[in-house]
Structure 1
């Protein structure tokens, strides 16, 4: 299905998708990808939803595991700080159907102040294009429609 007839060449835009591909800026990818409005389209090493872990989400959001501060309990009232340059939201396209991600997978990003939304790849592609056009800091991680288990 084609999403947009025109795209801004300066921004990564999902232009179409199908059973075995995702098209970004009119270039077709036959595997899972992740990307932001600017920059490279990256291969995502996830093949099925069950491959998605907290570590894979941290990696695509560009946050590293912080070392544990033994005195952190003293600042229990302090809200977690989002890392500089982190996205506002991470959209996960889970293939042909929506598959919710377990809380232990999304918790590290939510605690860092990054929203995580899992939805079908079709919905994630449309949502990404809207948020990207609004100038929001968003990252999309999309499985092709045929990959979902």
Structure 2
């Protein structure tokens, strides 16, 4: 039984690997923000240690109902103070590794939810 359409009208995360994700089959090798309402821009950070409050304030300006933070190859949680702008407007935030974030974004976006994935893309081991 087919429960979801074959074609979605929203941007989808079609693949991922160490050091990259693909958005609608276009390979992106930098941290990126992608949203179900067409939002898409590079997120200026290459390592978790570079993240700070400004990165999450930028996400708050998007007005999404949920932010999915893909923290790289492993789960690392943002500091609570970084999330203040999102909490103030009652925007949900979920943290997971980037692979899980890609899958979760696709499901929620295909349901018509206003969801944004902020994906930390760190350089692949060995620089590839």
| TM interval, short-chain normalised | 0.7 to 0.9
> What TM-score comes out, normalization by structure 1 length?
0.73
Give the Cα separation in 2 of the matches to 1:96 and 1:140: 15
CA deviation profile, 1:56-111 (whole Å, cap 9, x unmatched): 11213326xxxxxxxxxxxxxxxxxxxxxx11111111110000111111122112
The question of 1:18 aligning with 2:17 is answered yes
Q: Corresponding residue for 1:136?
A: 113
Q: CA deviation at 1:30?
A: 0.7
| Aligned equivalent of 2:74, options 73, 97, 120 | 97
Q: Which has the larger radius of gyration?
A: 1
Q: What value does the CA root-mean-square deviation take over the aligned residues?
A: 1.7
Give distance in 1, aligned partners of 2:77 and 2:39.
Answer: 27
Asked if the contact 1:7/1:25 (under 8 Å) is kept, the reply is no
Q: Distance in 1 between matches of 2:79 and 2:15?
A: 29
- CA shift, 1:119, in A, is 1.1
Residues matched between the structures, number? 119
For structure 2, which runs of at least 5 residues remain unmatched after alignment?
1-5
Deviation at 1:144, TM superposition (A): 2.4
Q: TM-score, normalised by structure 2?
A: 0.84
Q: CA deviation at 1:145?
A: 5.8
* Correspondences of 1:23-62 after superposition (within 5 Å): 23-62=22-61
CA contact (8 A) 2:30 2:122 kept: no
